[in-house]
Structure 1
Amino acid sequence: MLGMNDVTQQQSTRCDACTVRHRAVCGALSQKEIERLNAIARHRTVPQGQAIVGDQDRVLSFANIISGVVKLTKTLCDGRQQIVGLQFASDFIGRPFRDRSAYEATAVNDVHLCIYDRRQFEHLVREFPGFERRLFENTLDELDAARDWMLLLGRKSAEEKVASFILMVSKKMDGVSRQGGDGRPAKFELPITRTEIADFLGLTIETVSRQVSRLKSEKIIALEGLRTVAVLDVPRLEQASSG
C-alpha cells in the first residue's frame, strides 16, 4: 500500500468536512470516535495512472476514496492482467488484518484519498465495535457485488452485460444522482476505455461498441465523444441490463 513516508508527509484533514463520510466505512462512528479517526487521517492525491498498491505488496496503510476512480487488477502467472473491479468515491481500499494486498489498485484518473496508517487504524477497529461492524458489512456488500458480477459474466448476454456496466457506473459515479435529480439526464464519463470495458466484461471491443451504439440508437443513452454518457431512460436501461 502507500508507504509510511507518503502518509506522514501529508496534511491532516477534518472528517466533519468530508463529502463521503456518511457513505464511507467511518459513517457508523460517533463524533468522539470520528475525532479519534481524524487524528490519524491524512490526505493524498494520486495522479492518473499511478499504482496505489501492487498485487501482493505488503499493506502499510488503508484508504477511503474521496473522489476519483480506482481500477483493481489481478496478475496471472504468465504476466497477463485482468480487471476484476472498479472502486468509486466512498469505497474503501485495503483489507484490515491482512498482510498482503490481493490486487493491484491503480488510479484511473486523479484520485483523492483519505489515508490511515495500518497499525493505528486496526487499533481503532478493535476499540470501536461499530467500526468493526461497518467494515464487516462493507465486506459482505462487496461479496454480494462479486456474486452479482459472476452472474453477469457467466449468464448474461452481451447486451445485458454492457447495459449492466453503464447502469453500475451511472449509480456509482460521484454526483450522478444529483445531476439526474432535476429532470436532466444523468451525465458522466466512462472511467475506463472501451478496450478495458471489453476486458472487464469478457467481450470483444467490437461487441462493446456495437451494444453501446444500439443503446444510443434506441435513445436509452446519448453519447458525447467516446467517453461521456448521458442516461436518457433509466427504466429502459435497467430493463436492458436484466433482459
Structure 2
Amino acid sequence: MAAGATHRPVQTRCADCPIRYRAVCSHCEAKDFEELERIKTYRTYAPGETIAWAGEHMPLVGSVVDGVAMLSSTLPDGRRQMVGLLLPSDFVGRPGRAGLSFDVVAATEITLCMFNKSEFERMVGRSPHIEHRLLEMTLDELDAAREWMLLLGRKTAREKIASLFVIMARRDAELHRHVPRDGLSFPLHITREAMADYLGLTIETVSRQISALRRQGLIELGDNRMVHVPDFAKLIDQSGDDADGGVLV
C-alpha cells in the first residue's frame, strides 16, 4: 500500500460495521468475526491520495468502509483513464496475487478496514463463507465491468449521468438493506470532475446534464451532497435501462 495513510484505532465492532451486510465478511459466523476483529486495522486516506500503485507489492487487503476510490490506468504517454469506482463494501486487493492491475486513488476521504494479506489468505482457506463471498463479489465486479463498457460505448451523455446515479442509488440501498424506491436519497461522494473522468465526458457536459435532470424534477440536490430521487422509475428510464436493469432498444 502507498505510504501516507492515517492509522485509526479500531472503533467499530464487526457486528456493528456499516458495511456488515454487503462486505466480504457478510456471510461470516461468530468464530470468523472473532478472528477478523483480531487482525483488522483501519486506515484513512485523504482525497487524491494514492492507496496502491499498479504492479506494486500489496501486503494488505480489505474493504471500503466509507468514501469512494477510483481505479485508473496510466498509459506510457501519461494519459490516465478511470476504469472503475470502489464504493463502500467493495474489496481492495487480490488474495493470491502479488499486486493490482490498476492504481487505486482516493476520490474522497476514504476509510478502509484492512487485513494482512497472508493472514487473510489463510483465513479464506479455513472459511468457506469468506471464499464463497469473494467469488460472489468477483462475479459482481465482472458484471459491473460489462455494464461500464456498455455505458461508455453506447450511451448518451444524459444516459451516462442517469446511469451513474441509478448505480449509486442501488448500491446505497443495498448497503442499508433497502429496496430502491421513490423518494430515496443517497450521498454523491465524487466531484463532477471525477464523474467526467469516469464517464468520458467534459465537466461542462456533466454540469449541463445534472442541471437538466434537476429542471425536469428527476433529481434534487440537498445539503452535504445528498441526491434525492422523487421517482426512481423515471430516473431509470433516463438511464436507457428498464426497471429490471435491462437495456432498452
Task: Give the Å deviation of 1:180.
Answer: 10
Task: Give the Å deviation of 1:176.
Answer: 8.7
Partner secondary structure for residue 133 of structure 2:
helix
Task: Give the Å deviation of 1:171.
Answer: 2.7
Structure 1 match to 2:103: 104
The 3 A distance-change label for structure 1 pair 39 and 228 is closer
CA distance in structure 2 between the partners assigned to 1:20 and 1:226 by the alignment: 20
Q: Answer yes or no: is the 8 Å Cα contact 1:67–1:174 preserved in 2.
A: no
Task: Give the Å deviation of 1:50.
Answer: 1.6
Task: Give the Å deviation of 1:175.
Answer: 9.5
Q: Answer yes or no: is the 8 Å Cα contact 2:182–2:229 preserved in 1.
A: no
TM-superposition CA deviations, 1:142-178 (whole Å, max 9, x none): 0011011111111112221111012112233489969
Structure 2 match to 1:152: 151
Number of equivalent positions: 240
Q: Answer yes or no: is the 8 Å Cα contact 1:66–1:89 preserved in 2.
A: yes
CA distance in structure 1 between the partners assigned to 2:172 and 2:83 by the alignment: 18
Structure 1 match to 2:244: none
Structure 1 match to 2:68: 69
Structure 2 match to 1:172: 171
Structure 2 match to 1:204: 202
Structure 2 match to 1:213: 211
Give the superposed CA RMSD. Answer: 2.9
1:88 matched to 2:87? The reply is yes
CA distance in structure 2 between the partners assigned to 1:33 and 1:49 by the alignment: 34
Q: Answer yes or no: is the 8 Å Cα contact 2:81–2:197 preserved in 1.
A: yes
CA distance in structure 2 between the partners assigned to 1:131 and 1:180 by the alignment: 25
Partner secondary structure for residue 56 of structure 1:
coil
Q: Answer yes or no: is the 8 Å Cα contact 2:19–2:175 preserved in 1.
A: no
* Gap runs ≥5 in structure 2: 241-247
Most deviating of 215-224 and 57-66: 215-224
Higher helix share: 1
CA distance in structure 1 between the partners assigned to 2:217 and 2:178 by the alignment: 19
CA distance in structure 2 between the partners assigned to 1:41 and 1:216 by the alignment: 42
Partner secondary structure for residue 39 of structure 1:
helix
Q: Answer yes or no: is the 8 Å Cα contact 1:49–1:109 preserved in 2.
A: yes
Task: Give the Å deviation of 1:47.
Answer: 2.2
The 3 A distance-change label for structure 1 pair 2 and 143 is same
CA distance in structure 2 between the partners assigned to 1:162 and 1:182 by the alignment: 19
The 3 A distance-change label for structure 1 pair 114 and 216 is same
Q: Answer yes or no: is the 8 Å Cα contact 1:56–1:100 preserved in 2.
A: yes
Task: Give the Å deviation of 1:114.
Answer: 0.9
The 3 A distance-change label for structure 1 pair 17 and 128 is same
CA distance in structure 1 between the partners assigned to 2:224 and 2:205 by the alignment: 15
Structure 1 match to 2:42: 43
**Identity of aligned pairs, percent?**
41
Partner secondary structure for residue 78 of structure 2:
coil
CA distance in structure 1 between the partners assigned to 2:91 and 2:189 by the alignment: 18
Most deviating of 222-231 and 134-143: 222-231
Structure 2 match to 1:137: 136
Task: Give the Å deviation of 1:18.
Answer: 1.6
Q: Answer yes or no: is the 8 Å Cα contact 1:2–1:60 preserved in 2.
A: no
* Gap runs ≥5 in structure 1: none
CA distance in structure 2 between the partners assigned to 1:138 and 1:179 by the alignment: 19
